[in-house]
Amino acid sequence: MFKGSRGIRVLFAGFAGGAAIGAMALFGGGTASADTTCSAANNNRVEHADGLSRCIANAGPGSRADARDTSNSGVATAVATQRGKATSINLQPGSQALSSGVRGGNAYSFSTGPRSTSISMARDGGTSVAVGGWGGQAYAGPQGAMCAGGFGAAYDSTTGQYCVKSGSIDIH
């Protein structure tokens, strides 16, 4: 367990690495298939299915939810209520990204590796970020932050907890 500014630097380095991998997956090469995209705002719900690809965006009054699956065989779900914002992006086959923003919370969930799961649950004006990759799982929400499997990174501002896991490296 790392504490103090060194642990914070390691956390942000982990998130930067996850963001870089996500950007490479988003903007790099690959197949020429279309994304399955859902966006909803202000008491709206949008759901799309294309083959094995699914997305759901559900937004209550004053809220915004965005979900996108680029893998052609995964799931992205975003739910926002009470002025919350939720964003879920799944980039890899057999993976799922789930986010929930309530009471002004901002939730971000990214699945960047095959067979990964990321879950973020932001509330009360806080921010939660979860990045699951390479068979990993990441959770950020009311229970804090938890990472397991191959690669995962998570941060929850309301609890102040974070984690980064990559193989045998496990930072809390």
Kindly tell me the burial class for residue 50, based on how many C-beta atoms sit within 10 Å of its own C-beta (0-12, 13-18, 19 or more).
Answer: middle
User: Contact at 8 Å (CB) between 51 and 72?
Assistant: yes
Extract the residue ranges of the chain whose pLDDT is less than 50: 1-32
At CB < 8 A and 24+ separation, what contacts does 11-20 make? 11/153, 11/155, 11/162, 11/164, 11/171, 14/153, 14/164, 14/166, 14/171, 15/129, 15/131, 15/153, 15/155, 17/153, 18/110, 18/112, 18/131, 18/133, 18/151, 18/153, 19/131
Half-sphere exposure of 134 (CA within 13 A, CB side): 9
| Separation CA 56–CA 35 (nearest Å) | 13
Tens of pLDDT, residues 42-83 = 999 999 999 999 999 999 999 999 999 999 999 999 999 999
pLDDT at 167: 79
| Structure tokens, 164 | 């980064």
| Separation CA 58–CA 56 (nearest Å) | 7
| Separation CA 65–CA 61 (nearest Å) | 11
pLDDT at 172: 74
pLDDT at 13: 40
